[in-house]
Amino acid sequence: MYKIESKNVNLHYGSFHALKGINMAIEKNTVTALIGPSGCGKSTFLRLFNRMNDLIDGVKIEGECLIDGKDIYSKSIKIDDLRKRVGMVFQKPNPFPKSVFENVAYGLRVNGITHKNFIEERVEVCLKQAALWDEVKDKLKKSAMALSGGQQQRLCIARALAIEPSVLLMDEPASALDPISTAKIEELIYDLKNLYTIIIVTHNMQQAGRVSDSTAFFYLGELVEFDSTKKIFTNPTDVRTQNYITGRFG
Amino acid sequence: MRLLLVLVKPLPLTVIKKILNKTIEGVLMLSSTITTLTVLLIVLFLFKEGVSVFKESPLDGDNVIVLNNQNDVNHLSAADIKKIFDQETTNWKLVGGANDSILLFTFNDLSNYFSEEELGPEFEYLPHKMDSLIEANPGMIAVFSKKYLDKNHKSKVATIDNISPKTFLLGKEWFPTANPAVQLGVLPLILGTLYVSIVAILIALPIGLATAIYIAEVAHPKIRAIYKPVIELLAGIPSVVYGFFGLIVIVPLIQKIFDLPVGESGLAGAIVLAIMALPTIITVTEDALRNTPRAMKEASLALGATQWQTIYKVVIPYSASGISAAAILGIGRAIGETMAVLMVTGNAAVMPHSLLEPLRTIPATIAAELGEAPANGIHYKALFGLGCILFIITMVINIWVETISKRRVNR
C-alpha cells in the first residue's frame, strides 16, 4: 500500500482550475520533490494533504486524497487529528513569538499533553532531530524571534516533529535561507527520511536532485511527469520537463 | 530692444511649477502651524483660567468675616466657615479659640439688633453700629459687605485661606454656590468620573472582546458584512440619543430591579457609557486580531490546534497590546463623555459610596454649571480647574495608548 495517494484530484479556486486530475502515489519513507514554475499548483497540491486549502474561501475539491489508504476528506476524519499526523513546514520561518521551548512544546500542549518531563524530553529529542539542540540548548527560555532565519526554520521543523507525524510537508523550506542554512536543512531532510514520508516543494533544481528520491513536475495545474529523481533529471519523457530542468523556461 | 524682449518673455513652465510647489508647501505649513498653535492656545487658556482658582478667596463677593478683637482666632478656612454658618461648629474651641460659644451674625439678622432709624438713611450709621455690636459680643462672628466695615474698626477682620490645591483636589464637598464661603472639593467628582468609567469598561470589555473575536475570526463573511457596519453605526449616534435611551429604558429598569427611590445612578451611567464605548473597543480590537499574521494562524492549525486553541493561544496573545489599547481608548471615551452621563447619573455631587446612588462626573459638572456660574468668579474658575484635571487624565490615557502601540510596532 502506498503511504500517500491522490486519485484524479481536481481543485478549483472559484472559477480558477488550479489542479487538473492529479494522480500520484508516494511510497513510505521517501522524499518526493514537487517542482515547476510559480503558480503551477505544486504548493496547492502539497496543502491538500493537511487540508490547509480548506482555510481559503471558495475552494472546491474533487477526487480522492488517501493517506494510509484512508480518504482524508471523508466526513469521519477530524481535521485537527489529520493535521497531527501530517506535519508542515512553511516557506518563511514562522515561529510563534514565544520562547524556543514553548514553540516546540506548542503542538504537544494543544494536544492536551501536560506531563512536564515528557514535554521536556520530547522538546530535546525534536531539537536534536532538527540539528538545532547544540545551538539553542542554553537559550531555551529565550524568544524564538531572536534566532537567525536558518535556526528559526529548523525550529519550525522541530516544532512539526514534536507531535510525531508520519508525513512531513515542506513548502520551499529553504527558499528564505542562506546557502549554509540551506545545506543544513537538506542534510536534515536526508536524515529524517528514515522516520517520515516527506513531500517537499522547491524551486531549486539542485536541491530537488540532492534530497529527493522521486520528483514530480507540475505545469499549469497538471502533473506532467512523475518518476524517480534520477530519471527526471537525466532522461525525462516529456519535452516540457526537459525544457524546465534545463532552464529553458520557468 | 533686446532687453525688453527678455522681460516680456513668458515665464518658463519649470518656474511656474516651482512657484506652485512653493505656494502649496507654504499653505500646508501654514495650516499645520495654525492648528498646532490653536491646540496649544486652548491648553494655555484652560490652565491659565484653571490655575487662577488658587488665587481666589472662597468668600462670596466682597464680603468680610469680622470677629471680636478679643477672639484668639485670627484665621479661618473655607471649611471652618461653612461649618460655623451651618451651625455644625458652635464653639470657638473647635477652631482653635477659647471655650466660648459662637454667635452668628448675617445681614438677615440686622433687624433683630437695630431699628431703621438707628441705621440712618442709606445705612450711613451701620459701620459704626456694627463695630460696636461686635465689640460688645466676644463670641460673635459677622459676615457683611466690605463697604460697611468701619474705617476705624476696633473689631478684627479674619484672614481667610485661599483655595489651596490640596483642599481643591482632596476636599470632599462641592458647594460652589454656598454662602458665605464656597466649598470647592472636587474629590467626589473625580471619584464619580473614575467609578463610572471603570465600571463601564468592566462591562464593555468582555462584550467587546467577544464581539471582536466573533467578527474577526469566527463569523461567516456574510454575517461580518452585516455586523461590522451596524457596530460602526453605533459610533455615529449622537450622545444625547444614548442619554435619552438611558433615561427611558435603563434608568426605570435599574429602579425596578434594585427597588430604588430613583433609578438615576452611577450604574445607569456606566451601562450607557459601556454601550457608547463598545464600537471603539470592537473596531480597535478587531483590527488588532486581524493583524495577526496568517502564517502564525496556519502554523498553529498545522500543528493540530483547533480553531479555538489557535484563537486563545496565538491570536489573542499576538494582539494583546492592540486589545489593551482598545480598552484604554474605551476608558478615554467614557471619561470624556458629557451629555449622556449628565442625563442618567442623577448629578449628585457627593462622595460616591455605591453605584446605585446618584453621582456626578467632571464633564457633567462643567456642562451643568458653567451656564449659571458668573464669568470670572470663583465658581467659574473652579470649573476651569475641573477642565484641567480632566485634560490631565485624558492626556495620561493618550500617552499610555501611545506607549502601548509603540511597543506593538517594536515587536
Give the CATH number for residue A159: 3.40.50.300
Are B113 and B261 in a shared domain?
no
Decide if B304 and A84 are in contact by the 8 Å CB cutoff: yes
For residue B174, being part of any structural domain is answered with no
Strand B159-160 and strand B75-76: pairing? parallel
- Is B298 an interface residue toward A (CB < 8 Å)? yes
Q: What's the domain range around A42?
A: 4-245
Instruction: Determine the pLDDT at residue A250.
Output: 52
Give A232→chain B minimum CA distance, Å: 31
B357 in any annotated domain: yes
CA–CA separation, B37 vs B198, rounded Å? 33
Whether residues B309 and B210 fall in one domain: yes
Task: Please check whether residues B123 and B211 belong to one and the same domain.
Answer: no
Domain assignment present for residue A96? The answer is yes
| Contact between chains at A163 and B303 (C-beta distance less than 8 A) | yes
What end-to-end distance do the CA atoms of chain B give, in Å?
70
Q: Which of B298, B305, B306 shows the shortest C-beta gap to A90?
A: B298
In a domain, residue B12? The reply is no
The whole-angstrom separation of Cα A221 and Cα A45 is: 9
Chain A contact set for B318 (CB, 8 A): 97
Which residues in chain A are closer than 8 Å to B317, comparing Cβ atoms? 97
**pLDDT one digit per residue (tens) for chain B, 411 residues:** 555 555 566 778 888 999 999 999 999 999 999 999 999 999 999 999 889 888 888 887 678 888 888 888 888 888 888 888 888 888 888 888 888 888 888 877 888 888 877 777 778 888 888 888 888 888 888 888 888 888 888 888 888 888 888 888 998 889 888 878 888 899 999 999 999 999 999 999 999 999 999 999 889 889 999 999 999 998 889 999 999 999 999 999 999 999 988 889 999 999 999 999 999 999 999 999 999 998 899 999 999 999 999 998 999 988 988 898 898 888 888 888 888 999 999 888 888 888 899 999 999 999 999 988 888 888 999 999 999 999 999 899 889 888 887 775 554
The mean per-residue pLDDT over the stretch A37-54 comes to 91
Q: Are residues B69 and B207 in the same domain?
A: no
Other residues' Cβ atoms within 10 Å of the Cβ of residue A86: 26
Report if residue A250 sits inside a domain.
no
Under 8 Å between Cβ of A84 and A111: yes
Question: What's the total number of domains in chain B?
Answer: 2
Give B275 to chain A, closest Cα distance, Å: 33
* pLDDT value for B190: 93
Candidate from B296, B304, B313 with C-beta closest to A94: B296
Specify the residue for cell string 478683637.
Answer: B69
Grid look-up 500617552 returns B399
Q: What is the CATH number of the domain that holds B72?
A: 3.40.190.10
Number of domains comprising chain A? 1
- Best to test chain B binding among A89, A94, A102 (most B CBs inside 10 Å): A94
Domain of B124, in residue numbers: 63-161
Please tell me the distance from the alpha carbon of residue B177 to that of residue B370, in angstroms, as a whole number.
12
The residues that bridge with A169 in the sheet, in sequence order, are: A88, A199
Residues B214 and B339 in one domain: yes
Q: What is the domain-level CATH number for residue B249?
A: 1.10.3720.10
Q: Is residue B307 included in any domain, yes or no?
A: yes
Pair B324, B397 in one domain: yes
Burial class (CB in 10 A: 0-12, 13-18, 19+), B81: buried
Same domain for B261 and B202, yes or no, is yes
Q: Tell whether B108 and B192 lie within a shared domain.
A: no
pLDDT score for B56:
83
